[in-house]
């Protein structure tokens, strides 16, 4: 009887192990389902798809309306990966969704701006002003840096919470004196008479857009590698065959081809070597920036607990 029980346990265990291995092998062959909304830094994945460089058996791109939708899909486990900002990755991790950054798409170097209705002799003139800002980690990070440079605290200014789509109207209605914003709203406010008093060039390598992958999908190594390589190949096409790229990218970006370059003003587009410099090291540059953003989010009550940055970055999918 004991011998029979032993055999039954042995074969049951063997079956479970084999079944799990088969499932894992099958999953490893499935495409990497990746969510992304329209944003200049993410568009090279879609350009690669247009150029026939994306194997649909390895990667499926899911078009979303916003970063919030992409974040919701990856939190729900409906996609394996998503194009997100670093602060969005941190927010997901704070909610128990373990994401790893496998590539950096772009770095804001002037794209995020503070537009003022009046001229300043120095940034400290922002004291007492009504500042329109999104209730997001990104808005909180820029605001934190502005106040630090100005030598002020949050109590020295009046915060007006505004989503990006409400900022222009709030400006026209005179409800704000300054706005923390980005394109295309920044250009509209400048055209309406505003002046730029601060931008993300003063906070280098703090605001980044990345490709984040769920921990459960990191075993799809071939697919992740394929997507990162396709992105960088399309980025090279954009830099070397500019006119062809502009015509292909314009429809998705919603502008005329000659307007596409303006969308990339203030954005750095790191190549594989630059990616490696950002993601390698102990701690890596990306992890150090992540720690700073976590502290800002914690102080701004945007996260309820501190976030561990262990395994935040996986540089193995980008070859220099």
Q: Domains of the chain: which residue ranges? A: 23-107+207-317, 113-202
Same fold, 23-107+207-317 and 113-202: yes
Fold of 113-202: D-Maltodextrin-Binding Protein; domain 2 (3.40.190)
> DSSP state, 40?
G
- Give pLDDT tens digits along the chain (320 positions): 545 555 555 565 555 555 445 444 445 789 999 999 988 999 999 999 999 999 999 999 999 988 888 999 999 999 999 999 998 999 899 989 999 999 999 998 888 899 999 989 999 999 999 999 987 777 888 898 899 999 999 999 999 998 888 899 999 999 999 999 987 788 889 989 999 999 988 887 788 999 999 999 999 999 999 999 999 999 999 999 999 999 999 999 888 999 999 889 889 999 999 999 999 998 899 999 999 888 888 887 778 877 888 889 999 999 87
Q: Which CATH architecture fits 23-107+207-317?
A: 3-Layer(aba) Sandwich (3.40)
**What does each C-alpha distance from 241 to 64, 232, 236, 247, 248 come to in angstroms?**
28, 14, 8, 11, 11
Tell me if the bond preceding 227 is cis, omega within 30° of 0.
no
The 10 Å CB-count burial string (b at 16+, else e) for 134-149 is bebbbbbbbbbbbbee
Q: In sequence order, what are the residues at sequence separation of 6 or more whose Cβ sits closer than 8 angstroms to the Cβ of residue 254?
A: 38
Supply the pLDDT for residue 24.
Answer: 47
Which residue spans within the chain are E strands per DSSP? 32-37, 59-64, 81-85, 99-108, 113-116, 130-133, 158-161, 178-181, 195-199, 208-214, 267-268
């Amino acid at each position: 009887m004991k011998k029979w029980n032993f055999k039954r346990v042995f074969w049951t265990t063997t079956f479970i192990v084999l079944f799990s291995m088969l499932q894992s092998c099958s999953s490893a062959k499935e495409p990497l389902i990746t969510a992304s909304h329209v944003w200049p830094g993410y568009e090279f994945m879609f350009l690669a798809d247009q150029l026939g460089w994306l194997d649909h058996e390895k990667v499926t791109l899911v078009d979303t309306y916003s970063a919030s939708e992409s974040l919701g899909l990856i939190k729900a486990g409906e996609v394996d990966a998503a194009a997100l900002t670093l602060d969005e990755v941190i927010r997901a991790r704070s909610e128990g969704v373990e994401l790893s950054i496998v590539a950096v798409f772009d770095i804001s170097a002037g794209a995020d701006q503070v537009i003022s209705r009046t001229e300043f002799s120095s940034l400290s003139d922002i004291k007492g002003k009504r500042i329109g800002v999104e209730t997001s980690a990104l808005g909180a990070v820029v605001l934190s840096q502005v106040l630090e440079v100005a030598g002020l605290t949050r109590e020295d200014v009046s915060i007006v919470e505004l989503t990006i789509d409400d900022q222009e109207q709030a400006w026209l209605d005179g409800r704000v004196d300054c706005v923390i914003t980005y394109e295309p709203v920044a250009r509209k406010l400048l055209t309406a008479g505003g002046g730029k008093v601060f931008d993300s060039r003063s906070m280098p390598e703090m605001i980044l857009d990345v490709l984040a992958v769920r921990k459960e999908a990191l075993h799809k190594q071939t697919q992740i590698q394929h997507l990162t390589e396709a992105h960088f190949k399309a980025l090279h096409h954009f830099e070397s065959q500019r006119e062809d790229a502009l015509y292909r990218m314009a429809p998705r970006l919603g502008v005329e081809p000659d307007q596409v370059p303006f969308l990339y003003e203030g954005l750095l587009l790191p190549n594989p070597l630059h990616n490696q410099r950002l993601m390698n090291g102990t701690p890596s540059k990306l992890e150090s920036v992540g720690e700073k953003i976590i502290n800002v989010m914690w102080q701004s009550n945007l996260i309820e607990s501190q976030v561990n940055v262990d395994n935040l970055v996986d540089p193995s999918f980008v070859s220099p």
